[in-house]
């Protein structure tokens, strides 16, 4: 039997003591055994530092890094800096993996010669109940860059998540996650697929993402969400300036959807600190109104409300009516 190449799996850790053991145990149980498991304690104030050290005693493949709190990007970068594997993967510390996840991803890279392999994701609630999955079945092992960019820009089956992918380490030679911001995986994933001729896909749900009420993406709107708007707007710019408008339908429909959702969060949540953002969000929504019908991040009834907003009806009225109707028909 040929010796397995080393895979480095990086787990950034902060205030997740309830979930950490399940996460790490799912990595230890992988059918692909030649792993370097890098637990990065990002200055967690709970019992995570002690748990990391205890887990390291359980298996020699575990390496623990204790560092001052610097955020998710800083933790991931710390792991990348010391990774010795030929391949790098990420697992968030409140999530877990199916036993064959890294074997399947590794095999996809080995067979295709690609630099990135991607698998499907199941979203679970805090009690482990399945909420839905995203899994692309392209009908072949690989997809060309043009089609991958289509899926990336429309946000449907190829989201920018760091953790449902396996990467050749060589990709990270000059790339790190941007510090001090959220939604940091969007520019990194975008940079990778823009230089990859093909990407490999495993049409199986192998990663389980925990949807927590206190997670970055699960909280109500805050200033960090404007990083997401910047990245979505950058996708629109790239479609226009680099690809001659080829992905305008995908990128601009996603932008319209985010404008609608952010306006809803501000108004329904009475987030007065962001009321000054409403005019610019409404302006952007109107500028991209013709793409609302393509928005995969809007439900059919929200597309109707978005079109009403584009007709000039007051956002306060629109979202008040929407709130009433949702309550009635929920």
pLDDT at residue 142 is higher than 70: yes
- Over 70: is that where the pLDDT of 215 sits? no
Query: For residues 123 and 217, what is the distance between their CA atoms, to the nearest angstrom?
Result: 13
pLDDT digits (tens, 9 = 90+) for 274-300: 999 999 999 999 999 999 999 999 999
Helix, strand or coil, per DSSP, at residue 44: coil
pLDDT in tens, 298-325: 999 999 999 999 999 999 999 999 999 9
Instruction: Show the tokens assigned to 294.
Output: 């393509």
Given this model, what pLDDT does residue 221 score? 75
- Angstrom distance (rounded) from CA 240 to CA 248: 7
User: What does the pLDDT read at residue 288?
Assistant: 97
Q: What is the mean pLDDT of residues 117-122?
A: 94
How far is Cα 315 from Cα 305, in angstroms, rounded to an integer? 9
Q: Mean per-residue pLDDT for 232-258?
A: 96
Report whether pLDDT(134) > 90. Answer: no
| Residue 38 predicted with pLDDT over 80 | yes
pLDDT recorded at residue 2: 62
- Kindly report whether the global pTM for this prediction surpasses the value 0.85: yes
Class in CATH terms, 7-210: alpha beta
Q: Does residue 44 register a pLDDT over 80?
A: yes
Q: What whole-number distance in Å separates Cα of residue 227 and Cα of residue 221?
A: 12
* pLDDT value at 219 more than 60: no
User: Using an 8 Å Cβ cutoff, are 251 and 235 in contact?
Assistant: yes
Lowest mean pLDDT among 61-70, 151-160, 207-216, 274-283: 207-216
State the chain's mean pLDDT as an integer: 92
Task: Find the mean pLDDT for residues 68-94.
Answer: 97
Q: What percent of the chain has pLDDT over 70?
A: 96
* DSSP string computed for 305-318: HHHHHHTT--HHHH
- Residue 125 backbone class (left: φ over 0; alpha: ψ -120 to 50; beta: rest): beta
- Which of 89, 40, 92 lies closest to 209 in space, CA to CA? 92
Question: Residue 193, Cα to own-chain centre: how many angstroms?
Answer: 14
Q: In three state form, how does the secondary structure of 123-160 look? A: EECCCCCEEEEECCCCCCCEEEHHHHHHHHHHCCCCCC
Sign of CA dihedral 112, 116, 122, 127: positive
The region of weakest confidence among 20-24, 39-43, 194-198, 219-223 is 219-223
Give the pLDDT of residue 220. Answer: 65
| 239 neighbors 247 (Cβ within 8 angstroms) | yes
The residue assigned the tokens 């805090």 is: 126
Give the C-alpha separation, 316 to 264, whole Å. Answer: 9
Domain ranges (residues) in the chain: 7-210, 225-329
């Amino acid at each position: 039997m040929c010796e397995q190449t080393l895979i480095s799996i990086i787990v950034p850790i902060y205030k997740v003591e309830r979930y950490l053991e399940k996460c790490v145990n799912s990595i230890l149980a992988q059918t692909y055994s030649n792993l370097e498991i890098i637990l990065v304690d990002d200055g967690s104030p709970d019992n995570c530092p002690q748990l990391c050290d205890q887990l390291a005693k359980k298996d020699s493949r575990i390496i623990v890094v204790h560092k001052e709190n610097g955020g998710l990007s800083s933790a991931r970068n710390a792991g990348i800096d010391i990774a010795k594997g030929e391949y790098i993967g990420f697992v968030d510390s409140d999530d877990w993996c199916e036993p064959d996840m890294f074997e399947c991803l590794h095999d996809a890279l080995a067979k295709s010669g690609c630099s990135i392999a991607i698998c499907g994701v199941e979203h679970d609630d805090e009690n482990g109940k399945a909420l839905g999955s995203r899994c692309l079945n392209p009908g072949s092992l690989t997809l060309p860059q043009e089609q991958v960019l289509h899926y990336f820009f429309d946000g449907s089956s190829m989201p920018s998540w760091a953790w449902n992918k396996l990467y050749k380490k060589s990709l990270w030679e000059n790339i790190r996650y941007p510090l001090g911001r959220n939604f940091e995986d969007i520019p990194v994933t975008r940079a990778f697929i823009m230089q990859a001729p093909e990407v490999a896909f495993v049409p199986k749900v192998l990663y389980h993402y925990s949807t927590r009420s206190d997670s970055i993406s699960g909280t109500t709107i805050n200033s960090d969400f404007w990083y997401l708007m910047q990245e979505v707007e950058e996708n629109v710019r790239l479609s226009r300036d680099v690809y001659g408008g080829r992905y305008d339908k995908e990128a601009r429909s996603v932008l319209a959807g985010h404008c609608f959702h952010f306006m809803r969060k501000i108004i329904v949540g009475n987030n007065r600190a962001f009321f000054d953002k409403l005019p610019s969000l409404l302006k952007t929504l109107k500028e991209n109104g013709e793409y609302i019908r393509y928005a995969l991040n809007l439900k059919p009834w929200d597309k109707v409300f978005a079109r009403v907003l584009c007709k000039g009806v007051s956002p306060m009225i629109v979202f008040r009516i929407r709130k009433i109707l949702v309550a009635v028909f929920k």
